Amino acid sequence: MDAVLERCAGLDVHQEEIVACVMYGPLEKRPKKETQTFLTTTKGLLALHDWLESFKCTHVAMESTGVYWKPVWNILEGSFELILANAKRIKNVPGRKTDVSDAAWITQLLRCGLITPSFVPPENFRDLRDYTRYRRKLVGNASSEKNRIHKILQDANVKLTTFVSDLFGVSGRALLESIINGEVLTEEQVRSLVKTSLKRKVPQLVDALNGRVRQHHRKIIRMHYDHLIYLEKQISELEGEIDRLITPYNEYVELLDTIPGVSFNAIAVIIAEIGVDMSCFPCDKHLASWGGLCPGNNESAGKKKSSRTQKGNRSLKGVLCQAAWSASKSKGTRLSSFFYRVQKRRGQYKASMATAHLILRIIYHIIKDKIPYEELGWDYAEKDTERKINYWIKNIESKGFKVTVEQPTA
């Protein structure tokens, strides 16, 4: 293999220690090699930094081992060209496996330019990532607490959800508090607690509240309800931090807000996950592949096997699929038209994935070119007559027929 780097290093990262290997020397000759082990404490990482600098290394590669690579990245960032490698793609050949041989293998691959770097956004976007990902976790936890309260109310013969569509709205919470406090409400008291259209359902609500609520139920509902309020407070604080960190990128927020189905929370996740520098991705198709939103390749002996999508970035994939479902409900848009055309052939779940793929490619061009989304309309596909004609010709010919296309005579 031809070498492309004169001075580089590979790191085998673990929780307690790092094995570093440096290779240096002329490209046309066999390189010299030095190996040393360092602790993963800040002092040990600073020693690693100085050791790499003593060899005048220009590039350093490491495996994406759990979260253990992050402290190393934080110390070395800015001093070297860092490359984070997918461990699955740089596996050593089977045989005698040691930490030293792993570090040397990574270094050899790096020296020959055979490592495809993983995408690592700048520090400010990594901070935003922490907030958006934690917010998503807390929103899920809050939903779980709501479901637990629903379950306990059913166990206590309280049928509020039959008449109250949102138990955790203003009226629903007021009634829930009365249940927790052990109050027996009259029709007048219920009428004073509920708002808007629920006032017309007061007799039914009184009947629904007449359950078999024991002290056990009230106690455990209180625990879940207090935890829900705490989670909502935490979510509110996270959203404040997200707003603060995303403010410098309001230009991109406004542009992405023009895409049907993409909410502000989705935009925050998108910017946190991919950043605003599209030069990191050669084209929109590369970004879609990195996000795990395009079919995989699995071909052997001329036979195409399962081409299910790759794992990709789960946070980005999840929020784009949600955006795809929302876009499918927007009226008279290109995205909803695309969704239903794919749904006819492949079903709704594959349609949502295909629409998410399309949205991500649109996002790439919007961020790269700094232009708003251009709505093509529901009937955009009908305008592309030549493409549709070719599609149906191929479809018919695949069934063994021969097709001739002629223009009608005047």
Helix, coil or strand: residue 354 = helix
Do 241 and 255 reside in the same domain of the chain? no
Q: In this predicted structure, what is the pLDDT of residue 307?
A: 67
- Indicate the range of 143-152, 283-292, 401-410 predicted with least confidence: 401-410
Would you state the structure tokens that stand for residue 14, as one six-digit string?
Answer: 């673990």
Q: If you ran DSSP here, which 8-state letter would residue 303 be given?
A: E
Do 157 and 227 reside in the same domain of the chain? yes
Residue 405 lies in a domain: no
Tell me the pLDDT band of 35, cut-offs 50, 70 and 90: very high
CATH of residue 31: 3.30.420.10
**Mean predicted confidence (pLDDT) in 213-227:** 95
pTM passes above 0.95? no
Domain span at residue 142 reads: 124-247
Do 191 and 253 reside in the same domain of the chain? no
Q: In this predicted structure, what is the pLDDT of residue 183?
A: 87
Q: In this predicted structure, what is the pLDDT of residue 184?
A: 84
How far apart (Å, rounded) are the C-alpha atoms in residues 371 and 358? 17
Do 277 and 364 reside in the same domain of the chain? yes
- Indicate the range of 294-308, 337-351, 363-377, 385-399 predicted with least confidence: 294-308
How far apart (Å, rounded) are the C-alpha atoms in residues 379 and 395? 22
Mean pLDDT of the chain: 91
Do 202 and 254 reside in the same domain of the chain? no
Do 133 and 171 reside in the same domain of the chain? yes
Residue 353 lies in a domain: yes
Do 55 and 180 reside in the same domain of the chain? no
How far apart (Å, rounded) are the C-alpha atoms in residues 376 and 258? 13
How large is the angle between the packed helices 123-155 and 314-328, nearest 10 degrees?
A: 60
Q: Which residues contact 344 (CB under 8 A, 6 or more apart)?
A: none
Closest-CA residue to 38 (of 59, 56, 62): 62
Contact by Cβ (8 Å): 38, 129: no
How far apart (Å, rounded) are the C-alpha atoms in residues 161 and 379? 41
**Mean predicted confidence (pLDDT) in 63-92:** 91
Stronger pLDDT, 313 or 307, i.e. the higher one: 313
Closest-CA residue to 373 (of 381, 382, 363): 363
pLDDT digits (tens, 9 = 90+) for 176-212: 999 999 888 888 888 888 888 888 888 899 888 888 9
Q: In this predicted structure, what is the pLDDT of residue 219?
A: 96
Angle at 311 (CA atoms; ends 110, 266), nearest 5 degrees: 110
Do 343 and 237 reside in the same domain of the chain? no
Tell me the pLDDT band of 44, cut-offs 50, 70 and 90: very high
How far apart (Å, rounded) are the C-alpha atoms in residues 28 and 215? 81
How far apart (Å, rounded) are the C-alpha atoms in residues 222 and 228? 10
**Mean predicted confidence (pLDDT) in 85-95:** 82
pLDDT digits (tens, 9 = 90+) for 330-368: 988 999 999 999 999 889 999 999 999 999 999 999 999
How far apart (Å, rounded) are the C-alpha atoms in residues 390 and 182? 70
How far apart (Å, rounded) are the C-alpha atoms in residues 70 and 90? 19
Do 364 and 334 reside in the same domain of the chain? yes
- Indicate the range of 261-270, 298-307, 386-395 predicted with least confidence: 298-307
How far apart (Å, rounded) are the C-alpha atoms in residues 224 and 145? 6
Helix, coil or strand: residue 92 = coil
Q: In this predicted structure, what is the pLDDT of residue 187?
A: 86
Do 177 and 217 reside in the same domain of the chain? yes
- Indicate the range of 92-101, 244-253, 354-363, 397-406 predicted with least confidence: 92-101
Residue 226 lies in a domain: yes
Helix, coil or strand: residue 252 = helix
Do 48 and 164 reside in the same domain of the chain? no
- Backbone φ, ψ for residue 399 (5° rounding): -95, 10
Tell me the pLDDT band of 41, cut-offs 50, 70 and 90: very high
- Domain tally for the chain? 3
How large is the angle between the packed helices 215-246 and 264-274, nearest 10 degrees?
A: 60
How far apart (Å, rounded) are the C-alpha atoms in residues 235 and 229? 10
Tokens 């290109």 locate to 334
Do 289 and 341 reside in the same domain of the chain? yes
